[in-house]
Amino acid sequence: MRSFLRQALASFAGLALFFALGMGGAIALLVGIASRDTGPQVESGTILRFDLSSQIRETEPPTTLGRALTDDGPPVLTVRQATEAIEAAAQDDRIAGLWLAGNRGGGNDSGYAALQEVRQALQAFRESGKPIVAADSDWSEKEYYLGSVADRIAIAPVGSLEWNGFSNQQAFFAGALERLGIGIQVIRVGDYKSAVEPLTRQGYSPQNRQQTQALLGDLWNEFRSAVGQSRDLSEQRLQAIADERGTLLPEQAREAGLIDQVAYRDRVRARLQTISGSTEPESFPHLGLSAYAQAPVVAERQRDANNQIALIRADGPIVSGEGTLQTIGSERLVGQLRDLRQDEAVEAIVLRLNTPGGSAVASEAIWRQLKLARERKPVVVSMGNTAASGGYWIATGGSTILAQPTTVTGSIGVFGLLPNLQNLANDNGVTVETIETAELADITTVARPKTERELAVYQQQVERIYDRFLQRVARSRELSRERVAQLARGRVWSGRAAQQRGLVDRLGGVDAAIKTAAQAAELGQDWAVRVYPEQRSLEQRILEALLGQTELALELPLERRLMGQAWRRWRPEAAVLATLNDPHGAYARLPFKLQIE
């Protein structure tokens, strides 16, 4: 028996050693391969290929081993990666032209402000004299927004082009919560502050309907104006097409002037081959934009300089504490700002905000650190797709605020949610009894609804926070408190509308914000940008994924099979509840999910 145990233990130890060595060797091999990668090779006459299904983000997505090692799914690029690569390609003599390619399938959920920055880079590429060819079989509006910049736009003979305007669809859960026995009491300031409505109503309030309609109208006008200028079509004509057609067949799209030709993919490739100058049969050198973004010619644009501009990217709901990769943790961002404020090598700071808002306490903490930094060096705030409510609160700490015309901002208001489970508990035979030493001892309980006196206590807290919010805006924007109160009330504005009302200094993207910071710091041309959080190399991402040092974004096939399409559609809205961690239960944020389709 002892002999058997010794043999078994020896075998187990041998297997453990084998697997340990094997895993270590695999890691070393993968890292070695990645570290030897010096970037893609760019031939003369290369066509740069931009996949129109690319997801344009503010920050890199959470690392997965599959994404680190394979090309599964649409490419993911940050706004700055995409714009810098396109700008570099315009100056790169080896790049003969740009191919905006569809047909990959899948939707593009990039925000319009991010797409607007990419579109501006594409327009500059075209103005450099290099051709752009765009081709797709089924053009969605977001794809067409980028594709309309092209010199020539093609659609497959069996295809379609979407042109039906913008819409916003909101789910309301009040009826479901009532059936479940979950009560919701609301405290808020601002009659346009609609973030609470999904839990308390069964449809839009008049104020929410008004502001959402106005916001969609502003964004749709920007969309029509940009496309109309590129295609030499009037905005009235484009509106008529949306009202009368919605979806156009290939010949209809050509007759309407939205595309130039109906063509199979081989004809498009033949045109690209001509642009390339390739003499190979049905072949030409081409390179994806995400790969080209890793090329030395792009990296070299970050030149050595004596002065540094720090670009901090803050993306996601605002929460107290450290937060996660998908949230803006106040402790983490405050620490970064403090370090950069004290860093003598950093001459200016650009804070790129993309957030619907969140915790009022966390927003105030970040605002304070931004204000302290502003006292020592220029601090420019660049708004992405969304920088509203708590995001706008933070922005008022900067020296200058820039937004894109299609940015969603404003929403200066505060709310609190007070759930109770009394009916749910009673319906299941559960009762709760409390012994107190003071009348308000159990004010935080979820076992019963709040009394009128308790609601008054919470309302006082919310009003105090709202008053502080108004003070921050009034002092930052040099507006009277009365004027700010008129603009506030929880109402959302487009970036252009906000700029017209004095809530934003000027319109522009992150590149414009960086140049503004350089001018404010009087750096001339002697400056370079350093991005925070720093972008990780491929070998770092592989190691993190293998060793579990980062969040792994796993998507389980079983979940896809078991979950219905409806739940997957509304799951992101329900997930917002996990980010509501303000110590006072007071929030400055947008509705749970403002999706524009």
Q: Mind telling me the catalytic residues?
A: 193, 389
pLDDT averaged per 10 residues, the chain (length 597): 48 47 49 54 95 91 56 81 96 97 73 96 98 96 97 96 95 94 95 92 96 97 97 97 96 97 96 95 93 82 80 96 92 97 97 96 97 98 97 98 98 94 94 94 95 96 96 97 97 98 98 97 94 65 47 37 43 62 73 64
CATH architecture of 302-536+585-589: Alpha-Beta Complex (3.90)
Quote the pLDDT of residue 556. Answer: 36
Q: Please give the DSSP secondary-structure letter assigned to residue 596.
A: B
Rounded to whole angstroms, how far apart are CA atoms 147 and 182? Answer: 47
Quote the pLDDT of residue 302. Answer: 59
| Inter-residue contact 313 to 514 (CB < 8 Å) | no
Quote the pLDDT of residue 75. Answer: 86
| 138: helix, strand or coil | strand
Rounded to whole angstroms, how far apart are CA atoms 152 and 133? Answer: 5
Helical H runs in 44-170?
65-69, 79-91, 112-127, 141-147
| Inter-residue contact 589 to 413 (CB < 8 Å) | no
| 58: helix, strand or coil | coil
Quote the pLDDT of residue 571. Answer: 53
Quote the pLDDT of residue 536. Answer: 55
Which residues have CB under 8 Å from 121's CB, separation 6+?
82, 83, 86, 87
Q: Please give the DSSP secondary-structure letter assigned to residue 417.
A: E
Supply 218's token pair: 């502003």
| Inter-residue contact 313 to 532 (CB < 8 Å) | yes
Rounded to whole angstroms, how far apart are CA atoms 349 and 379? Answer: 5
| Inter-residue contact 308 to 345 (CB < 8 Å) | yes
Strands (E), 194-279: 246-248, 261-262
Q: What digits encode the pLDDT tens for the residues 441-452?
A: 999 999 999 999
Q: What digits encode the pLDDT tens for the residues 567-585?
A: 444 455 556 666 777 766 6
Q: Residue 388: enclosing H or E segment and its boundaries?
A: strand 379-388
Give the residues across from 551 on adjacent strands.
none
Whether the bond between 533 and the residue before it is cis, its omega within 30 degrees of 0, is: yes
Q: Can you give the pTM of this predicted structure?
A: 0.86
Supply 160's token pair: 């379609």
Candidates 351, 414, 415, 403; CA nearest to 378 is 351
Rounded to whole angstroms, how far apart are CA atoms 513 and 500? Answer: 18
Rounded to whole angstroms, how far apart are CA atoms 57 and 114? Answer: 7
| Inter-residue contact 55 to 73 (CB < 8 Å) | no
Quote the pLDDT of residue 125. Answer: 98
Rounded to whole angstroms, how far apart are CA atoms 268 and 253? Answer: 17
| Inter-residue contact 418 to 394 (CB < 8 Å) | no
